[in-house]
Amino acid sequence: MNSIMQQLFMIPTFRKAILEVEDSNLGKEQDEENVLHQLKMIFGGLMEIERQYFNPKKFCLAFKDIDGSPIDPMVQKDVDEFFNMAIDRVETLVKGKKEEKVIKNLYQGVFANEFICKGCPHYSEREEAFMTINLQVKNKHSIQESLQSFVEGEMLEGDNAYYCEKCEKKVNTLKRCCIKRMPNVLFMVLKRFEFNFDTMQKFKINDYCEFPM
């Protein structure tokens, strides 16, 4: 959580929007329960306080998960899960205000889910908005390898072949996801958590993965 907060704080446009947005719930609920107020306190504290850190305890208590429980700082969780939940929460809090557009303008890109037919000349594409790119780190030496793997896709063949509506038959097809439009600020998330169906628990992948300057 702390690393995400630091990264969001270091984006001037987002920081400015959070600090300037009108808080509709100010005075209507306790400050300890007000997520937007606590986020403002973190950003304001990081800007003004001379200490090298700001204690996010009150934010952790205000920010509830889907079960209604506050953040437990002693439990390490999937950063992608927290980031998406945090951005979704902020979008809700600034809905209808001029700052609402800031989030999508900064972080939203567009994927192209492509079906490239090999048994005929046809091609189809479906666009999908995204806020983060999830990259495999298991058995990947670097971010470049992870990105290459991300766009490689898979062949749909045999019984799993793609039904081409134009040809009205099944054809061997490359199914892949590519980045059609980049966001202004790109968040790449390393998938370090997987689910073990034997133990029914998540476990962390600690594989080394390097990235360029």
Going by C-alpha positions, the residue among 47, 45, 26 that lies closest to residue 35 is 26
97 and 79 in one domain? yes
Same structural domain, 38 and 112: no
> How far, in Å, CA of 39 to CA of 33, rounded?
11
Query: Would you place residue 29 in the very low, low, confident or very high pLDDT band (cuts 50, 70, 90)?
Result: low
Predicted structure pTM score: 0.78
Residues 31 and 94 in one domain: yes
Report pLDDT for 195: 77
- The CATH number of the domain holding residue 134 is 2.20.210.10
**102 and 6 co-located in one domain:** yes
- pLDDT value for 28: 63
- Whether residue 43 is predicted with pLDDT greater than 80 in this model: the reply is yes
Chain center to CA of 95 = 19
Lowest mean pLDDT among 14-28, 40-54, 128-142: 14-28
Query: Which residue is associated with the tokens 């204690």?
Result: 55
Of 70, 3, 74, the C-alpha closest to 38 is 70
Q: Which of the pair, 202 or 42, is modelled with greater confidence?
A: 42
Residue entry with tokens 């953040």:
71
Residue whose structure tokens are 């509709």: 24
Percent of the chain with pLDDT over 90: 39
Could you report the per-residue pLDDT of 125-139, keeping only the tens digit for each? 999 999 999 999 888
